[in-house]
């Protein structure tokens, strides 16, 4: 059975990953704000779909702390690259999302 997660935690995760991909595309691929290249749009749609069907639902940790990585290897490498680039810049461009993400990582510390 496929879950359809759309609670507040999953929605915040979707907003965070969307922002990170958008920031990456804007800075690395030189696309205007709120416009994604095909590669980044494909990654974003994949990430959103994975969040929607996440087996952990509203108890989800951040992907970094997740015990079961659900991304295909090629997408996993792409999203890691995006997050390494965008993560540190989030404090400048969207501090609220950045602080929420950092808090969640600390909360689920192993």
Q: Is 3 within the bounds of a domain?
A: no
Q: Is 86 within the bounds of a domain?
A: yes
Residue 2: band (very low, low, confident or very high) from pLDDT cuts 50, 70, 90: low
Enter the pTM of the model.
0.87
Q: Is 2 within the bounds of a domain?
A: no
Residue 38: φ, ψ to 5°: -60, -40
Residue 47 has pLDDT above 90, yes or no: yes
Q: Is 1 within the bounds of a domain?
A: no
For helices 38-52 and 73-93, angle between their N-to-C axes, nearest 10 degrees: 100
Q: What are 65's two structure tokens? A: 């702390």
Residue 7 has pLDDT above 50, yes or no: yes
Q: What are 79's two structure tokens? A: 């999203």
For helices 8-28 and 73-93, angle between their N-to-C axes, nearest 10 degrees: 90
Q: Helices in the chain by DSSP H: which ranges?
A: 8-28, 38-52, 73-93, 95-107
Rounded to whole angstroms, the Cα distance separating 30 from 52 reads 29
Q: Is 37 within the bounds of a domain?
A: yes
Q: Is 25 within the bounds of a domain?
A: yes
The region of weakest confidence among 1-5, 26-30, 48-52, 101-105 is: 1-5
The domain containing residue 48 runs over which residues?
A: 8-107
């Amino acid at each position: 059975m496929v879950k359809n997660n759309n609670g507040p935690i999953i929605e915040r995760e979707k907003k965070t990953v969307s922002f990170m991909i958008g920031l990456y595309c804007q800075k690395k691929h030189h696309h205007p704000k709120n416009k994604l290249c095909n590669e980044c749009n494909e990654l974003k749609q994949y990430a959103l779909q994975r969040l929607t069907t996440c087996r952990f639902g509203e108890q989800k940790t951040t992907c970094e702390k997740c015990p079961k990585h659900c991304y295909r290897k090629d997408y996993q490498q792409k999203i890691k690259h995006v997050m390494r680039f965008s993560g540190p810049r989030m404090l400048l461009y969207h501090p609220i999302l950045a602080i929420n993400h950092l808090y969640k990582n600390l909360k689920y510390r192993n």
